[in-house]
Structure 1
Amino acid sequence: METERAALVETFRRADPDAPTLCEGWTVRHLLAHLVQREHHPLRQAADVIARPRPGRERFLGRLVEQARTPAGYAALLETFAAGMSPRNPVGWAGDRAHHVEYVIHHEDVRRGRGPVDPRVLPPDQVRAIWAELAPLARLGYRRSPVGVVQAVPGGPRRVARRAPDAVVVAGDPVELALHASGRVEAADVDVVGRAETVERFLRWSGPTVAAREDVDA
């Protein structure tokens, strides 16, 4: 997880803070503020989620965003994220496995906010870890699918994310599968295969109207 955190820090450092991300209504600055709030101010994070404001209009998140409007403020927010999660935050008690996929997805939120980019080349051990940690997200993301869903890595493993008599196979590298399962449908480089009518039902449900959740492990 800390390797991915360090890589994400460098991407935040190079990015335009006002650039769009894959999270509707959020700039790079908003996304960085979200990660800091999640790791250091969980009660404020919960209050924003409960209030259900329009993306970009969150009360407590907005305060962090405003504090990061200047270059110095943005740098300070980034250093807070780089330093790691607060040891007093219950979110961190679940261990690294609970957060690695979130960092990977948010990393792509930043990278792909302005359109397609070349995929990152990740170490094989990290790719295997993403696949291993993806199951809970897949079950959550596809729980309302009108058809069954099987995730598959081309030439590699597969798993059932949702059981149903008719099913599609969503195939791609683990990072792409994570993006698709979390609602980043247009940004995910995957193939959906199956019977024509089953694929059509799935695509009607999973199309670009399925918004990316602001917190992928919610």
Structure 2
Amino acid sequence: MTAFAKSERHQLADLLLRLGPDAPTLCAGWTTRDLAAHLVVRERRPDSAIGMLVPPLRERGEQIRLAKAAEPFELVVDQVRNPPWWSPVSNPLVDELANAGEFFIHHEDVRRAADGWEPRDLSREQDAALWRGAQFAGKMALRRVKIPARVVESGGLGEFTVGPDPQVTVRGSAGELALFLSGRQGAARVETDGPDERLRTVRLGL
């Protein structure tokens, strides 16, 4: 694992153990137990992960996740911390690309579900990694919901536009944009300019 993905993974595992299995998260209806189980089956059960993309298989994927969530919480968190080397999404060749954003977002899902949180100070390298992921996921999400928008990274990493003649602009740091564009609009500290209020409430994540 490369540095950022590994760091976020271990920080999240530590936080999960500290809070226990019943703490809230930003993922609607999920506790920390549910979130940990999701991360494990994503890496260890590709047949479950397919259900996120193929609706007819979603129920089967949820059954697999619930079975994992029923296992001892400490064991599930240990599997979050120590991914299999053979996994399609956590092997050394793809780990940073597949997991830098994934684990940052889920780390924040747990952090920001509690009162008193503040955005973390991230390195320039971390911002760059998150911005790459935010561009890819954000373009897909905005095209899917058919909302023309301009997205600007406030640290100077760049910007992108989706759709013709966008009337709304979203501006923020790479981490905050990654959260916003993955569907965590209510917990992301970004600025929006323009008339399209749907961007604050529409489902942007998977």
Q: TM-score range by the shorter chain?
A: 0.7 to 0.9
8 A contact 1:147–1:164 mirrored in 2: no
What's the counterpart of residue 142 of structure 1? 142
Secondary structure at the counterpart of residue 35 of structure 1:
helix
Could you tell me which runs of 5 or more consecutive residues in structure 2 were left unpaired when the two chains were aligned. Answer: none
Matches within 5 A, 1:183-194: 183-193=183-193
- Deviation of the 1:158 alpha carbon: 2.7
Q: How many residues end up aligned between the 2 structures?
A: 197
- C-alpha distance 65-211 of structure 1, shift in aligned 2 (>3 A): farther
What letter corresponds to residue 160 of structure 1 in structure 2? F
The TM-score with structure 2 as length reference comes to: 0.84
CA distance in structure 1 between the partners assigned to 2:128 and 2:202 by the alignment: 30
1:78 is aligned to 2:77 = yes
Q: Which amino acid aligns with 1:88?
A: W
Overall identity of the aligned pairs, in %: 30
Could you say which residue in structure 1 is the equivalent of 2:201? 208
Q: Which runs of 4+ in 1 moved over 3 A?
A: 47-53, 144-147
The aligned counterpart of 2:10 is 6
**TM-superposed deviation, 1:208:** 3.0
Aligned counterparts of 2:70 and 2:155: Cα–Cα separation in 1: 47
Which runs of no fewer than 5 residues in structure 1 stay unpaired?
Answer: 68-72, 194-198, 214-218
Query: Residues 145 and 202 of structure 2 are in contact (CA less than 8 Å); yes or no, is this contact kept in structure 1?
Result: no
Residue deviations 1:82-105, cap 9 Å, x none?
112x23322345612122111111
| 1:166-181 equivalence runs, <5 A | 166-181=166-181
Q: How many angstroms apart in 2 are the aligned matches of 1:47 and 1:156?
A: 37
Alignment CA distance shift 1:29-1:150 (3 Å): same
Aligned pairs for 1:32-51 within 5 A: 32-47=36-51, 50-51=56-57
Query: CA–CA distance in 2 between the matches of 1:90 and 1:74?
Result: 24
Is the 2:43–2:87 contact (alpha carbons within 8 Å) kept by the matching residues of 1?
A: yes
| Alignment-derived partner of residue 27 in structure 1 | 31
* SS in structure 1 of the partner of residue 189 of structure 2: coil
Counterpart-to-counterpart distance in 1, 2:105 and 2:22: 19
Cα separation, 2, equivalents of 1:137 and 1:43: 22
Letter in 2 for 1:78: V
Do the aligned partners of 2:25 and 2:32 also contact (CA within 8 Å) in 1?
yes
Paired amino acid for 1:206: L
The alpha carbon displacement at 1:47 in A equals 4.6
Stretch deviating more after TM superposition (41-50 or 30-39): 41-50
- Please tell me the residue identity of whatever aligns with 1:12: L
SS at structure 1 position matched to 2:151? strand
Counterpart residue identity of residue 85, structure 2: P
Question: 1:114-153 maps to which residues of 2 (within 5 A)?
Answer: 114-115=114-115, 117-153=117-153
Per-residue CA deviations over 1:55-78 (Å, capped at 9, x if unaligned) read xx92111111111xxxxx111111
